[in-house]
């Protein structure tokens, strides 16, 4: 099998209806490119444990066009693991992760390839609007990007998703990263290299439904912050020191009052407030420690990031 120059990585789960429209829009677009690298392409679907006929649709697409390949994982490992599996298997000089829902317009690939030709190693897409998202999602997304970049040294571009072009040099660096708790945007940022942005208008999803709910987004946000920063751990040292100084100051105050005015029996309400406040802080700090310890446990096990059940279009 001749290696392609451009690899399009598409993680999918229960997307039997979306694959056809995706190929109908992306394949003619790539074939129309003037750049020979973009014309020599492969589209690699990563089936992340689908329960519908997604895998069969990929097989039929491969039978009709050998440039379309597929990987089937043994179960649902999550999008970050599926994306990693695709990056590991991609052959191209440039690799582009894309979502099958076409909310990130494939037409932006033209400008991405052009900037790559200008010498940029990473060209990431930036959404110039979030009108397709609900108001709570827009607000929380904006808050998350700011919090992540404030806490972490690895700054991720605001409102940039996984849709980006990666030079082979960047791909090789990412493939060397062994961690199991994957936050791909953070890994892309950590890799460095010359980067440029391409702005695009995010479209409505026309086929299928999103697989991300608020709980999964929250877990991804926690993974992103804990994998990129130890500030949440350090902040409890500072907060503990602040509370200790406050307690010392209050003890000195009580001693002075006792010496000057006699001993005054403290009230029940103030005692309960102090106990509940400090108890809450302790439980919260234990929760933060637990998040990091849980990730240490996962890394220590050393299990594979994903397991491939079947390869479609190999060899």
- Mean pLDDT computed over every residue of the chain: 76
Higher pLDDT, 304 or 72: 72
pLDDT category at 195 given cuts 50, 70, 90 is confident
Three-state SS at 164: strand
pLDDT category at 82 given cuts 50, 70, 90 is confident
∠ Cα 308 293 73 (to 5°):
10
∠ Cα 226 123 10 (to 5°):
75
- Find out whether 281 and 238 touch, Cβ atoms under 8 Å: no
Which of 143-147, 168-172, 219-223 is predicted most confidently? 168-172
Q: What secondary structure letter does DSSP report for 232?
A: H
As a whole number of angstroms, the distance between CA 38 and CA 157 comes to 25
Question: In the chain, pLDDT over 90 holds for what percent of residues?
Answer: 1
Average pLDDT over residues 177-197: 78
Strand order in the sheet with 6-12: 195-200, 122-127, 160-167, 94-97, 6-12, 41-47, 68-73, 308-312
Closest CA to 116 of 78, 65, 165, 173: 165
- Find out whether 56 and 280 touch, Cβ atoms under 8 Å: no
The structure's pTM equals 0.66
Beta bridge partners of 46: 11, 71
> At the topology level of CATH, where does 6-213+303-312 sit?
Spore Coat Polysaccharide Biosynthesis Protein SpsA; Chain A (3.90.550)
In this model, does residue 211 exceed pLDDT 60?
A: no
In this model, does residue 258 exceed pLDDT 80?
A: no
pLDDT digits (tens, 9 = 90+) for 17-49: 888 888 988 888 888 887 676 667 888 999 888
Q: Which residues contact 184 (CB under 8 A, 6 or more apart)?
A: 80, 83, 84, 97, 162
Q: How far out from the chain centre does Cα 45 lie?
A: 18
Average pLDDT over residues 142-169: 72
Q: Which residues contact 293 (CB under 8 A, 6 or more apart)?
A: none
As a whole number of angstroms, the distance between CA 15 and CA 47 comes to 9
Average pLDDT over residues 49-53: 84
- In the chain, domain spans: 6-213+303-312, 231-301
- Find out whether 94 and 116 touch, Cβ atoms under 8 Å: yes
Three-state SS at 279: helix
69-78, 210-219, 278-287: lowest mean pLDDT where? 210-219
- Find out whether 185 and 126 touch, Cβ atoms under 8 Å: no
Three-state SS at 126: strand
> What would the two tokens of residue 311 be?
């390869």
Q: What is the pLDDT of residue 93?
A: 86
As a whole number of angstroms, the distance between CA 34 and CA 40 comes to 11
Q: What is the pLDDT of residue 315?
A: 47
124-133, 220-229, 288-297, 298-307: lowest mean pLDDT where? 220-229
């Amino acid at each position: 099998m001749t290696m392609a120059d451009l690899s399009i990585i598409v993680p999918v789960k229960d997307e039997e209806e979306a694959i056809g429209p995706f190929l109908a829009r992306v394949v003619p677009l790539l074939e129309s490119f003037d750049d020979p690298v973009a014309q020599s392409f492969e589209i690699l679907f990563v089936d992340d444990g689908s329960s519908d006929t997604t895998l069969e649709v990929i097989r039929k697409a491969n039978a009709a066009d050998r440039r379309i390949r597929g990987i089937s994982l043994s179960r649902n490992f999550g999008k970050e693991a599926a994306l990693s599996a695709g990056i590991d298997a991609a052959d191209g000089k440039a690799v582009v992760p894309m979502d099958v829902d076409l909310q990130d317009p494939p037409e932006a690939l033209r400008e991405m390839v052009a900037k790559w030709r200008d010498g940029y190693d990473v060209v990431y897409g930036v959404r110039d609007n979030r009108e397709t998202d609900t108001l709570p999602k827009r607000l929380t997304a904006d808050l998350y990007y700011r919090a992540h970049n404030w806490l972490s040294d690895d700054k991720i571009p605001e409102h940039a998703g996984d849709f980006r072009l990666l030079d082979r040099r960047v791909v090789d660096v990412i493939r060397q990263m062994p961690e199991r708790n994957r936050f791909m945007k953070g890994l892309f940022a950590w890799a460095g290299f010359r980067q440029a942005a391409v702005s695009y208008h995010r479209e409505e999803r026309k086929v299928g439904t999103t697989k991300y709910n608020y709980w999964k987004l929250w877990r991804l946000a926690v993974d992103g912050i804990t994998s990129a920063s130890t500030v949440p751990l350090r902040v409890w040292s500072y907060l503990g020191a602040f509370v200790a100084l406050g307690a010392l100051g209050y003890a000195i105050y009580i001693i002075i009052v006792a010496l000057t005015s006699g001993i005054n029996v403290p009230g029940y309400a103030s005692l309960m407030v102090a106990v509940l406040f400090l108890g809450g802080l302790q439980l919260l700090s234990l929760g933060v420690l637990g998040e990091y310890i849980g990730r240490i446990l996962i890394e220590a096990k050393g299990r594979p990031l994903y397991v491939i059940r079947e390869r479609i279009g190999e060899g």
